Amino acid sequence: MSCCSQEEILAVLDCFRIICSLRWEQIHVHSGLRPKQIPDSALPLAKPPRLDQDISIVEVRANIRFRVLGFRSQNAFNVLWFDRLHSLLPG
């Protein structure tokens, strides 16, 4: 996050605020977050070795270009990667 602009940091914080204020059912259909499950074959990096291989990685939108990739564990969204230029998984 040290290379992020103030605008990008605020967008990520707002994204996290929205995630924290919603139930998972609402997050899955939220038009601003646009959550998308990412197949392992499309991941730009290998999953961390301590992460169970059956856990799905999800991309959520912080702003028009900034994406946050992570996974759900019980009631928490665990961040794995920040994609500030939407270049890890373009499209």
Residue 13 has phi, psi (to 5 degrees) of: -60, -40
Q: Which stretches of the chain score pLDDT less than 70?
A: 91
Task: State the pLDDT at residue 36.
Answer: 93
**Cα–Cα distance list, 16 to 39, 45, 54, 60, 62 (Å):** 23, 23, 24, 10, 8
- Which residue in the block uniquely carries the two structure tokens 């605008």? 7
Task: State the pLDDT at residue 75.
Answer: 85
